[in-house]
Amino acid sequence: MGLTWIVGSTLLGGPGGGFPRIQHLFTSPESSVTAEPRAKKYKCGLPQPCPAEHLAFRMVSGAANVIGPKICLEDKMLMSSVKDNVGRGLNIALVNGVSGELIEARAFDMWAGDVNDLLKFIRPLHEGTLVFVASYDDPATKMNEETRKLFSELGSRNAKELAFRDSWVFVGAKGVQNKSPFEQHVKNSKHTNKYEGWPEALEMEGCIPRRSVAS
């Protein structure tokens, strides 16, 4: 298995690291005399440990409307179907950027829900709060201009173009100066969808620098 470490750009004004999606290469048992040793996994299943004063994360968007999303931080599952705290729409975990502790996690139905509930959740964020977002089924039908603007201010490049049944994973922060290096987006297209009516699920992992108290 070949793994490539890629250092991500700065988030919250400090050095950051990020991983691209990992493509697994399988070989048949006949191709080797002895089994390859199992690769060591680190926090949240990352293939490499994060640098000091960085938070390890891994997140997966929902697959179609069948398999719910997951958000893991520092080996703690913040949101998942097993925890029974995910739902159709946008699944959002707010995290203290200094301590790495979970502040709150909620799912917002963007098909039949009220977008004002989402706005009340993300408008009053404190400076340095980390925002983890994973889509499930439909993330965008109820989005309005203010919602897209707020996510853009958190560092998103794709919030303005997010559409019906797109797949989206994103990590941003209140007060970030640049666009986040931690974002993936796949558009819903009948020509490229992996599932009937839905694009592929997205996986993203990496290392986010903790914010210092003084910054």
Q: How far is CA 164 from CA 49, 73, 112, 184, in A?
A: 36, 28, 13, 16
Q: What is the per-residue pLDDT for 213?
A: 64
Residue 16 lies in a domain: no
Residue 78 lies in a domain: yes
Residue 107 lies in a domain: yes
Residue 54 lies in a domain: yes
Q: What is the per-residue pLDDT for 39?
A: 67
Residue 63 lies in a domain: yes
The answer to pTM > 0.85 is: no
* pLDDT tens across the length of the chain (215 residues): 333 333 333 344 444 444 333 233 233 344 444 556 666 789 999 999 999 999 999 999 999 888 999 999 999 999 999 999 999 999 999 999 999 999 999 999 999 999 999 999 999 999 999 999 999 999 999 999 999 999 999 999 999 999 999 999 999 999 998 999 999 999 999 888 888 889 999 999 999 999 876 44
> CA 73, 77, 78 angle in degrees (round to 5)?
80
Residue 110 lies in a domain: yes
Residue 124 lies in a domain: yes
- Give how many domains the chain has, as a whole number: 1
Q: Both ends of the chain: CA-CA distance in Å?
A: 39
Host domain of residue 56: 43-209
Residue 33 lies in a domain: no
Distance CA 138, CA 89 (A): 5
Distance CA 202, CA 8 (A): 18
Q: What is the per-residue pLDDT for 34?
A: 52
